[in-house]
A and B are shown apart, each in its own frame.
Chain A
Amino acid sequence: MADPAVASGGSLNAGGRGSGSKAASSPAENYHLARRRTLQVVVSALLTECGFESAEKAVVETLTEMMQSYITEIGRCAKAYCEHTARSIPTLSDTVVTLIEMGFNVDTLPVYAKRSQRMVITAPPVTNPPVTPKALSAGQKRTHPPHIPGHFPEFPDPHTYIKTPTFREPVSDYQVVREKAATQRRDVERALTRFMAKTGETQSLFKDDITAFPLIAARPSAIPYLSALLPSELELQTLEETDSSEQDDQTDSENTAGNIITDDPGADKENSMLPPSGVVPSTKASEDNVIDNPYLRPVKKPKVRRKK
């Protein structure tokens, strides 16, 4: 059984029909078509043998398909058996076991083969099996080192096991980087907002074309001050980032201005004294007994009911 036939089984459906109409140009396709045609002839012969005088095309086709599947399965199975026993080419016994495995009575085979009314079919036209295109080889294949015998398989292409330097020189030009960052951010924002506008309710500035400049509809919220006052997660994130890696002073020369607004250094000072959410609660906890604030005192239990 020819392996390529097995391999090409999947593509048969595609190429099998309408071979006439389609100009089958590639040699691989011609090869498969020839095989297929032979199978059809076989099926037809068998039908004739069985006494049919004519058959619908669809029937022939179906039977061809079945036969092909059967043969393919035998081939696949036989190959599996042979590989199971660490060989590379199936032997007769592999095939026999396969047939038995598939529920075929092997003993009847010789009788059947020698039956009298057997029709002789011409061999399929000789066509060259398609040449599998060689994998594109990249780089020089390594030769075997001396301790490995020559019959062992060759090394694969170097790119499969060697780190290949494919990156380009990173763009370090400041202008380009900024340009890229800006464009990227803008694209992301635009895509995101467009998506939101597409999927949700929108408002429009134009009456004639409501899809131009779609605005995400304004939706009132029950507690509007929360979203307006609390910093968004993104901002918090950036704040953390800048906190951890102190902002590099790109404007060092400009910061020496003498006339700094007096209130704001104060703010910074206090920020450093009171880092966000750090100090206050802990002092509160530790000095709870020290702080005497009426709002922190426990709520008293009601006294025994008394008359007013």
Chain B
Amino acid sequence: MNRKKDKGFESPRPFKLTHQVVCINNINFQRKSVIGYVELTIFPTVVNLNRIKLNSKQCRIYRVRVNELEAPFIYNDPTLEVCHHESKQRNLNYFSSAYTAAVSAVDPDAGHGELVIKVPSELWKQGDDLKVLKVYIEFSLDQPKGGLHFVVPDVEGSMAERGAHVFSFGYQNSTRFWFPCVDSYSELCTWKLEFTVDASMVAVSCGDLVETIYTHDMRKKTFHYVLPIPTAAPNISLAVGPFEILVDPYMHEVTHFCLPQLLPLLKHSMSYLHEIFEFYEEILTCRYPYSCFKTVFVDEAYVQVSSYASMSIFSTNLLHSAMIIDQTPQTRRCLAQALAQQFFDCSKSQADEWVLKGISGYIYGLYLKKTFGVNEYRHWIKEELDKIVDYELKMGGVLLHPTFSGGKEKDNPTPHLHFSIKHPHTLSWEYYKMFQCKAHLVMRLIENRISMEFMLQVFNKLLSLASTASSQKYQSHMWSQMLLSTHAFLKSISNVSGKDIGPLIKQWVDQSSVVKFFGSFAFNRKRNVLELEIRQDYTSSGTQKYVGPIKVTVQELDGSFNHTLQIEENSLKHDIPCHSKSRRNKKKKIPLMNGEEVDMDLSAMDADSPLLWIRIDPDMSILRKVEFEQADFMWQYQLRYERDVVAQEEAISALEKFPTPASRLALTDILEQEQCFYKVRMQACFCLSRIANAMVSTWQGPPAMKSLFTRMFCCKSCPNIVKTNNFINFQSYFLQKTMPVAMALLRDVQNLCPKDVLNFILDLIKYNDNRKNKFSDNYYRADLIEALTNSLTPAISINNEVRTVDNLNADVRLILEEITRFLNMEKLLPSFRNTITVSCLRAIRQLQKNGHIPSDPSLFKSYAQYGHFVDVRIAALEALVDYTRVERSAVELQWLLIMVQNDPTHYVRHKILGMLCKNPPFTKTTDSTLCNEALVDQLWKLMNSGTSHDWRLRCDAVNLYYTLFGLTRPSCLPLPELGLVLNLKEKKAVLNPTIKPELAVENLCLSLTSDFSDEDIDMETVHDSQAFIHHHLNLLERPSTPGKHTHTHTHTHRQKETEPPSVEQSMLSMPATPVPSFSKEATSSASKHGSEHSHHHHHHHHEHKKKKKKHKHKHKHKHKHESKDKEKERERDNSHAYSNSPASGRSLRSPSLSD
């Protein structure tokens, strides 16, 4: 094999994998165990291949044979426990770097692995001739915590009758959790997969099902799959269960699988899948790469959609009947997403992943545009853009294509993050989602640049290249051409389009962050010129400077005109000549951008100016946030007459700041306009309620939207009664759902929800009649409950009296009665996805929080138990998280953390941590009694060793730790032994990093008094380090407890915090809008300390050296131990596979090695 042929791709491994057999002989649902073997066919690419490194986690390996010869092996998983027990380090910086190091140590893309197999010396000769090696590994899994998920309902009957099933899952490349492999997206091979399962079960896996054969006792059958297209191990999956089988009626090569009893839902939900297929194949002018496709719907899914080679695993909760409206578009979107990911599924390295995600996200967007319309598409793009902009401005930049030069920590491209982005396994889930979001937005930017036609040509080219490569069965070196890379992608773009998109790539791909514009304008009447000023903020975190063209659209009286301005270094002002003179007297229709001509009432305009409205970057061709200032009437014109939904939405959010009758009128008109996009109208509802609240003293007429709703949805003869439900028109349906929710947010002068609004909503509930409707009204009823919830305002309480039934407010009693009835009815006639229970639980929490009923977590605890529908559990857990924060309850926090460790559903565990991060019981900047050493230790343990089976969960735990304690040593910990560390390299003295809390506090104080940026503080400390240290020594001499210590220091700081000491009081003093479920406390990141950073680097340097030494030792050991008998080896290996400490792998203490 001549590797030089592979241009641009150097395999990190000294061998090439060409074929792998995975055979699972036995799946025991009772014991939740799996037994099987794998056989990898590899070609050495170096002359003396004596070690083979493979990935394997949590598998118990019985024996390894290479070409029929027993081979010794070592199993060492450093990610099991990231930092060792003895370490008293508790700061996150330390953990993150240790974790990154651990993941790197077994990274397949660096040629590493947990399993090191020694090639028997007899084969060395063969290796010299570069002959094929067959590596055979027997393994088993016992109650796997990751990789495979068993769902075994606890009911009577056989496993098939119980609906027991098992499926593979994971965050990114996680196949190593369930069989030994090269767990990389860049190592492709062909596959043979065999699964022996109970005769009543079906095993669904990747590739073509060649045959199904009974075992000799006829009680089991074996499914034989062959995957002739080279595929990476992370794209291999498996699902086994008593599935019902549905062959797609339109495409017979597509098969759908669902759990027993759900077949009718499956039929309905899958009835449009063929359209998605056709769409993708058409735009890519390329056939689907695999010969078949399978969809499997499983319970307790890890994510809603996960895509693998020729199959996708979905959550069973996506299935729905024809009666359900709201779930339909969501399910379709999920299917489209899954299919989009089928076409491009492997990349050269982690750094190229953005191309994969970008392309699949982009073609998914094209599908949305085609199926749901341009409005929906643009709305979605705006939503995604807002999401990424908000995230980056809050958390710092998202980098699509990181380059790591030398792998030194100094070169970390994202120093603002508390985790490394080098490996998928260290990425926080939220970051990863934002990464995907940004990737497809950037693809859209490229499309804007080179046209869609060229874009699709590029995709087609990449795909046909890949398919030619894959069809060359015996030339495995060609397979690497199937791997997507940034380089190949860009080259293809320049070939196809002839355009240079270098600057674009540099700006958005090689660089993180977004652009933040501030715009304002003045009209110069004399020159008839619009003087536009566009400023940028590129100093705050998550922002970058933009230089280049920007489009500005000006709607004048004579029409709409596009101008392209150049944003340059120093030019802030741009003069744009106007085309029309101001002449408002003439009655003439005004032409719009889309060629339409409309009559406008121009009386609101400024008489001197011909400008109706101005839009900056209307096509969203920059990843930006624009804050533009224009007069309220201009926003109103924009809302009424601009046809682009994005412009309308922008206008609505801008109008919130102008609570005037004119704004009210504009919003009401939009609400009534049926031609207007329904999501814009929904947004207008909420804006209207906010405006009404701001205008409460001058508001005329009935409460906002009431007469409108009456006109649209109530009976003509009796306006207080709503028509019987008929949801045939979906726009009206969504509006009907939204309006009461928005109305309930109205407040009167006393800050209470107006009485007639509440009665109105209660009447809607009372007269709701769905008997003649062909659609279910569960979402509508759930929204009515939400409306009731929104109407709640804090109870008036006299000195914290206990909440009793007797002193219940009369209105609240009515609300509570409805909620009780709804919740109880749900037990008898459950609604789809238990939407009503979910709404009721939220309502009850809101009642508790507002002090109407006693705050009590027990109800939520019972609904959060395993065995309830997952949506219900999440809602209950959300309430519990909120309870924990408001009541500062250590008991509930413990309860939640125990559930994080023990719950059978991975998704629920992930959600708990996610919710705790969003709504944390305390943060690094607030003091709390909950913050104590035990909690720090517990969380540390959780992320250090408790979550080693699930990358995503571990990253969640890291996030939570970061939210609660920040990057440095938690302030509640006692001070460790004091010490100065001299960093000889950087020639400065720093305090022992474990004393960092004080430093952090100091920094915070500094940053409050003066607006120093982080660097400034560093300078300060370095400069004046003598005094600084002296000051600290003084502090430390005081025998005060560290907690109190911090207290005094954070005092100034805490005064600025919005949270008053007593929650009860804060609730009372709060304005009467309902207390938001999640108060998004600004997580002011503790400024990181430069000196500390360098110290860590230093520290790590040592660590690395040590490791290297140990490695050497290990190899020596191995050579010695070659000839040990197998019995001992197995014993040792078992002990390793189950020992918790990675140290066990290093300092092999097994009997075989000690002698």
Q: Which residues from chain A sit less than 8 Å from chain B, CB to CB?
A: 174-175, 178-179, 181-182, 186, 189-190, 192-193, 196-197, 203, 205-209, 212-218, 220-232, 234-235, 238-239, 241-243, 247-251, 254-255, 257-264, 266-267, 270-271, 273-274, 276-277, 279-280, 283-284, 290-297, 299-303, 305
Known A196-B828, A229-B316, A264-B328; judge A299-B212 contact (CB<8 A).
yes
In the bound assembly, the distance between CA atoms of A181 and B772 in angstroms comes to 13
Chain B residues with CB under 8 Å of A271's CB are: 268, 271, 322
In the bound assembly, the distance between CA atoms of A238 and B777 in angstroms comes to 12
Whether B674 pairs with A257 at a CB distance below 8 angstroms is yes
Known A174-B715, A205-B856; judge A224-B728 contact (CB<8 A).
no
In the bound assembly, the distance between CA atoms of A243 and B774 in angstroms comes to 7
Chain B residues with CB under 8 Å of A217's CB are: 862
Question: Does B423 sit at the interface, judged by CB under 8 A?
Answer: no
Whether A215 pairs with B824 at a CB distance below 8 angstroms is yes
Beta-carbon contacts under 8 Å, B1023-1054 to A: none
Chain A residues with CB under 8 Å of B859's CB are: 203, 205, 215, 218
Q: Which residues from chain B sit less than 8 Å from chain A, CB to CB?
A: 153-155, 162-163, 199, 202, 208-216, 218, 221, 245-247, 249, 252-253, 255, 259, 261-262, 264-265, 267-268, 271-272, 275, 292, 299, 316-317, 319-323, 325, 328-329, 332, 371-373, 375-376, 674-678, 712, 715, 717-718, 721, 723-724, 726, 728-732, 766-767, 769-774, 776, 802-805, 816-817, 820-821, 823-825, 827-830, 832-834, 844, 847, 853-854, 856, 858-859, 862-863, 865-871
In the bound assembly, the distance between CA atoms of A196 and B829 in angstroms comes to 13
User: Which 10 pairs show the lowest CB-CB distances between chains A and B?
Assistant: A220-B867, A193-B824, A294-B209, A257-B674, A175-B718, A228-B869, A222-B153, A212-B805, A222-B155, A262-B373
Known A223-B155, A291-B252, A292-B252; judge A182-B265 contact (CB<8 A).
no
In-complex Cβ contact of A242 among B208, B265, B773, B829 (8 A) = B773
Whether A247 pairs with B728 at a CB distance below 8 angstroms is yes
Whether A228 pairs with B833 at a CB distance below 8 angstroms is yes
29 A-B interface contacts by CB (under 8 A): A181-B769, A182-B769, A189-B821, A196-B828, A205-B847, A205-B853, A205-B856, A207-B856, A212-B805, A216-B823, A218-B868, A220-B867, A222-B153, A223-B163, A224-B870, A225-B316, A226-B262, A228-B834, A239-B774, A242-B772, A242-B773, A247-B773, A262-B371, A271-B271, A274-B271, A283-B249, A284-B249, A290-B252, A305-B216
Chain A residues with CB under 8 Å of B317's CB are: 225, 228-229
Chain A residues with CB under 8 Å of B371's CB are: 262-263, 266
A254 to nearest B CB, angstroms? 6
A213-B817, A228-B830, A299-B199 known; 6 new pairs, CB 8 Å cut-off, are A193-B820, A205-B844, A266-B272, A294-B209, A300-B212, A302-B216
B653 to nearest A CB, angstroms? 21
In the bound assembly, the distance between CA atoms of A184 and B155 in angstroms comes to 38
B504 to nearest A CB, angstroms? 31
Known A250-B726, A254-B732, A259-B678; judge A230-B776 contact (CB<8 A).
no
Whether B718 pairs with A247 at a CB distance below 8 angstroms is no
Known A238-B773, A250-B724, A259-B676; judge A279-B245 contact (CB<8 A).
no
A303 to nearest B CB, angstroms? 8
The listed residue with most B CB atoms (<10 A of its CB), out of A214, A220, A255, A284, is: A220
Whether B221 pairs with A299 at a CB distance below 8 angstroms is yes
CB closest chain-B residue, reference A278? B267
In the bound assembly, the distance between CA atoms of A208 and B874 in angstroms comes to 29
Whether A207 pairs with B866 at a CB distance below 8 angstroms is no
In the bound assembly, the distance between CA atoms of A248 and B863 in angstroms comes to 40
Whether A178 pairs with B774 at a CB distance below 8 angstroms is no
Whether A263 pairs with B372 at a CB distance below 8 angstroms is yes
B737 to nearest A CB, angstroms? 14
Chain A residues with CB under 8 Å of B272's CB are: 266-267, 270
In the bound assembly, the distance between CA atoms of A219 and B718 in angstroms comes to 42
Chain A residues with CB under 8 Å of B829's CB are: 232, 234
In-complex Cβ contact of A196 among B154, B329, B372, B827 (8 A) = B827
B434 to nearest A CB, angstroms? 27
B445 to nearest A CB, angstroms? 25
In the bound assembly, the distance between CA atoms of A295 and B153 in angstroms comes to 25
CB closest chain-A residue, reference B763? A182
Chain B residues with CB under 8 Å of A189's CB are: 821, 825
CB closest chain-A residue, reference B724? A250
Whether B372 pairs with A262 at a CB distance below 8 angstroms is yes
In-complex Cβ contact of A259 among B677, B717, B724, B767 (8 A) = B677
In-complex Cβ contact of A203 among B319, B721, B833, B858 (8 A) = B858
Whether B776 pairs with A235 at a CB distance below 8 angstroms is yes
Whether A296 pairs with B245 at a CB distance below 8 angstroms is yes
Known A205-B816, A238-B770, A262-B371; judge A301-B862 contact (CB<8 A).
no
In-complex Cβ contact of A213 among B155, B820, B866, B870 (8 A) = B820
Whether A229 pairs with B774 at a CB distance below 8 angstroms is no
Chain A residues with CB under 8 Å of B774's CB are: 239, 242-243, 247
Chain A residues with CB under 8 Å of B202's CB are: 295
Chain B residues with CB under 8 Å of A231's CB are: 321, 323, 776, 832
Whether B833 pairs with A229 at a CB distance below 8 angstroms is yes
B261 to nearest A CB, angstroms? 6
In the bound assembly, the distance between CA atoms of A270 and B299 in angstroms comes to 27
CB closest chain-B residue, reference A210? B805
Whether A284 pairs with B247 at a CB distance below 8 angstroms is yes
In the bound assembly, the distance between CA atoms of A121 and B282 in angstroms comes to 120
In the bound assembly, the distance between CA atoms of A241 and B770 in angstroms comes to 12
Chain A residues with CB under 8 Å of B155's CB are: 222-223
B670 to nearest A CB, angstroms? 12
The listed residue with most A CB atoms (<10 A of its CB), out of B215, B218, B772, is: B772
